[in-house]
Structure 1
Amino acid sequence: MKDAVFRFKQFAVQQDRCAMKISTDGVVLGAFAGRGNPQRILDIGAGTGVVSLMLAQRFPEATITGIEIDKDAFEQASENVCKSPWSNRIKMINQSFQEFYNQHDGKFDLIVSNPPFFPKHLKSPDPKKNLALHNDSLSFGELANGIKRLLENDGHFWLILPPEQMDTINRILEFLGFFVFEKLDLRDKPAKNIIRTIQAFSFSKGEIKNSDMHIKDKSGKYSKDYSELLQQFLIIF
């Protein structure tokens, strides 16, 4: 998934100027996050714009705002949006999330994020990749506080993280009054450990819907669940 242009069934994404290329994390989040008919969507850390574009395809009545702190990534995401069928419904903003939530008056009924999560000691010599991968510039506490400020009372927040980091932000969100209502554990193959978890949060406590998905089956072919989830997006399915 590291070519300069990644082609989907209904749109294409240029990514040569983005430190973080299109990954399984973003694609699965874009295909899975959100329920019902959200009208106002916020994508935190938009990167190439792929999650915003996938959500625009899935929710044809929604307007989407993408926040991206890196200037090159913001410009490329904006170009990807302009060339897509949904340019009139997606707006990219070049700003830190902290600045955005301190200045923005409105609220959103769906917020999604594929946030940076690597600890500081694993830093790359590439400063752009550090910005995309490390949470120095946006801590989980700042992310959680911003979500609380921007989410509608009946809104939903979805994010994807490795299990250990998800446990950390879970405790912060629980302290701020959020409850998990849906959880997807993602594995590479059935017998492997969980590599990512997607969780959905709201301000209302209820029963949690749990599911488990593996990307490939025992033979190494893409699994039925993974293929069905991404069938309307990826050309390979």
Structure 2
Amino acid sequence: MFQGFSDATIDFMWGIRFNNERTWFQAHKEEYLTHFYQPMKELSLEVFDAFQARHAVPGLCCKVSRIYRDARRLHGRGPYKDHLWWSMERPGEESFSARPVFWFELEPEGWSTGLGYYSATPATMARFRARLDRDPKTFAALARKLEKQDRFTLQGEDYKRPKGTPALPILEPWYNKRSFSLIHEEQHGPILRSHELVDELLEGFSFLLPFYEYFVSLDGDPAPNA
């Protein structure tokens, strides 16, 4: 059972950020496993099991990230990440970045959770706009639901050249996004160190589930130019 992260978790993240090399990591590997990876794994499994017991979402799996960076993509950075995340997602042939995922991420400065795409494909976003054009009211109801709460905010880069104008004003923040996430961010605080984090994430993911179901269904839509 998840019992919370600790000061040792935070200390390790800052330590690997400023000592990002193999010798330091090997000397502190047990701290990583005990205070960072293990509680992250416990948190992911407990939230995932409770979420599935409540909602039974088909095809979801739970994944915890690795601390090791891909050696092909270091780009001058050290071989280790100073943060970890776990996700609930539906496996597919395409990259995880192109699929909608629920996530929790812990960094030296704070933590975040939410739902979205790391990098939605242009085809996905074209299907999204086409559906908004065909049926603006269905997603408008979700957009209003988001506006009525203060936990999650819409983030994402817009196209430099707008793709068009939606039928309803409430859809304007969504219509010209290249990709997007519904995200909640916090600095480290008491909830991070307690079992209450499980309930916090479970309630947040339950709120986001209708958005996930909408996004994950987009791949079944015909290509807009077909």
Q: Same fold (TM over 0.5)?
A: no
> Shorter-chain TM-score category?
under 0.3
TM-score, scaled to structure 2: 0.26
- Structure with more of its chain in strand, by fraction: 1
- Structure with more of its chain in helix, by fraction: 2
Larger of the two Rg values belongs to structure? 2
TM-score, scaled to structure 1: 0.25
Q: Relative contact order (C-alpha < 8 Å, sep 6+): which is higher?
A: 2
